[in-house]
Amino acid sequence: MSFQRASWTGMALILAIGTMGARYETPNFIVEAPTDAIARQIGLAAENYRRQLAIQWLGRPMPRWYRPCVVHVKVGPVGAGGATTFAFDRGRTGQMEVFGWRMTIQGPLDRILDSVLPHEISHTVLACHFRRPLPRWADEGAATLAEDETEKQRQQRRAVQALRSARRIPLRTLLSLTEYPSNMENVLTLYAEGYMLAEYLVQKGGRLRYLSFLDDGHRRGWDEAIRRHYGLSGASELESRWIRWVLAGAPELQTRIAAGPRGRRPSHSTEPVVRSQTPDAPKRSPKWRVRPAVALGRSLAQRSAPLSSVSAPHPLGGTAGTTRSPSRASRDFHSDSMPASSGWTRTRTKAKPMAPPPVRPTDSSSRPALGRDHLRHPLARQRL
């Protein structure tokens, strides 16, 4: 009996120690991880990616966030993925702000560092720049540019397969999608086509032109934006040129400006990465049905839709978190990317990270990935 009690006591002690986490703070991140070393490593990497990606996309570092982004880290042999939540609201000056950042990332440590973390940080950079939701393809495509070469090659193979099949999402449909498709195969296609379209446009004109193109597409319409920034007649000509390029093996169009940060070696992992974002109110079309991100991330949700249609985020696997709203106009947003804004903060009291659904890999050699919290939102994003 005494031995049994000792065994249970020892087991309880082990479990208690296992639940004890470490905390590391940087100017823009508060990292909660299993060990001090991992917390510090991810905190420093997050600051480095934040600075590096802001310079790549915006030409300059971003100012310090008003409140740090809390990053929850789970390291282990689970599917790599992440999720980021945030909110939009108008500040005292009337300018739209992004705030209330929380990020959840999980997977093997090397996958977190080479793909999950830079993907999520990219979302924050874009959110700080636009201060509004982006189309799914544009946000996820741009974020995938920051991932390691192995993951990008996986997305390229999937895009080729989709463009040669009935699963292809027509470009006009892809450009305007503000919610994830309800079918998982179509979700994977959206990620793959979104990445290859972002890669193509960035190689053709650079990152700043890509950002201007997205802004004009929002304000003027996609055909006009394509004419202004890429000298083509519209979406139909862009689609034909882009598809030919993808099917030709995506040859470099100029200096590979779309490549990720230098010095990052390709990962040899065969597991897909799970990613996602916050859900927007679905816009339905005859052929492409969408469902709220809550179902996918339980569903894969992202952030791109008119601000008025952005829905309140649901924590992964729990009831919606309660928040204190700065104003009645505020909107919560789940996304795998988006930094906190300056001047406003929001406190979540019950939010719990939820695990994303498993993603079925395309490659026969790939093992199915366990769900990860990143459906970005959805802010949990799953590496596909």
d(CA 197, CA 213): 13
| CA proximity to 78, closest of 378, 379, 368, 380 | 368
**pLDDT for position 254:** 60
* Element holding 293 (H helix, E strand): helix 293-297
DSSP annotation string for 114-139: IIIHHHHHHHHHHHHHH-S---HHHH
pLDDT digits (tens, 9 = 90+) for 245-284: 999 999 998 644 444 443 344 444 445 454 544 434 333 3
pLDDT digits (tens, 9 = 90+) for 147-195: 999 999 999 999 999 999 999 999 999 999 988 888 899 999 999 999 9
pLDDT digits (tens, 9 = 90+) for 130-147: 999 899 999 999 999 999
**pLDDT for position 335:** 42
What are the sequence ranges of the domains in the chain?
Answer: 23-191+272-382
Gap between the terminal Cα atoms of the chain: 50
pLDDT digits (tens, 9 = 90+) for 280-325: 433 333 344 333 332 233 222 333 322 222 222 333 333 333 333 3
d(CA 356, CA 373): 5
pLDDT digits (tens, 9 = 90+) for 325-374: 333 233 443 443 333 332 322 333 333 333 333 333 333 333 333 233 33
